[in-house]
Amino acid sequence: MLSLNACLQVASLAEASGIPYIEKLAKVVVVVMELLEQRGKNKKDVKALCESIANTVVVVNTVVSMHEEVGAAYFMSICEEMEEYLTNLAQDLKREVKSKHRGIKGLFSTKELRDAIQDYRIRVNDLKTDFLIHVTSDSRLALVDVQATQRDSMRLMAEIRKKQNTALEGEFVIRIATKHAVFFFFDPAVWLMSN
């Protein structure tokens, strides 16, 4: 299992990706991870959530970097949805941390925090599933396009072969060199006398 520091480093690297919606998501991820680290309770659940979020950010960042132009709109919507979930979690954690520092009992009890973390883990996993379905569908559609192009090429080649075979079977072309035609069509004696 990754440490929280390793997860923060992963999120920080994604911030430098150069893709605006990945950078926004990574900034929110860093804030959430820092807040979770400050929280101090349920370290096992917090680590699992941070690792899951970091892995998701790495996968999304990698795929977006490879295919940015192809599915930019879809990738952007995934990142925005994940950013929204994590922003809500960050707001809840900020309220809880502020309440704790004021001496008021926190908004979340240990059980409530565990439940909230589980809810966010489920949402992150749902986003991963949606993302994988989209990427798989795109790959499948690209494969279908390649197969269709290949079929069209094969069909065109078959038509060309058929036309070549038809031309050879139905038409006869006789070629005679001019030198030989002179001797064949004319009497050489007549031809010599005329010259």
Q: Is 65 a domain residue?
A: yes
Which has more confidence, 179 or 39?
39
Residue 168 lies in a domain: no
Domain-located, residue 161: no
Give residue 183's Cα distance to chain centre.
Answer: 74
Domain annotation covers residue 157: no
At residue 15 the predicted structure's pLDDT band, cuts being 50, 70 and 90, is: low
Average pLDDT of the chain, as a whole number: 70
- End-to-end, the C-alpha distance of the chain in Å comes to 104
Structural domain contains residue 22: yes
E strands in 21-121: none
Q: Within a domain: residue 69?
A: yes
Domain count, the chain: 1
C-beta of residue 99 within 8 angstroms of C-beta of residue 39: no
Sign of CA pseudo-dihedral 110, 116, 120, 125: positive
The confidence score (pLDDT) of residue 5 equals: 67
Threshold 0.85, pTM exceeds: no
Encode pLDDT of 165-195 as tens digits.
665 555 555 665 555 444 444 455 555 665 5
Q: Is residue 70 part of a domain?
A: yes
What is the sign, positive or negative, of the torsion defined by CA atoms of 185, 188, 192, 193?
negative
Q: How far apart are CA 127 and CA 133, in angstroms?
A: 10
138: domain range? Answer: 4-151
Q: Is the confidence at residue 95, as pLDDT, over 70?
A: yes
Determine the Cα–Cα distance for residues 83 and 106; give it in Å rounded to an integer.
Answer: 24
Please report whether residue 177 resides in a domain.
no
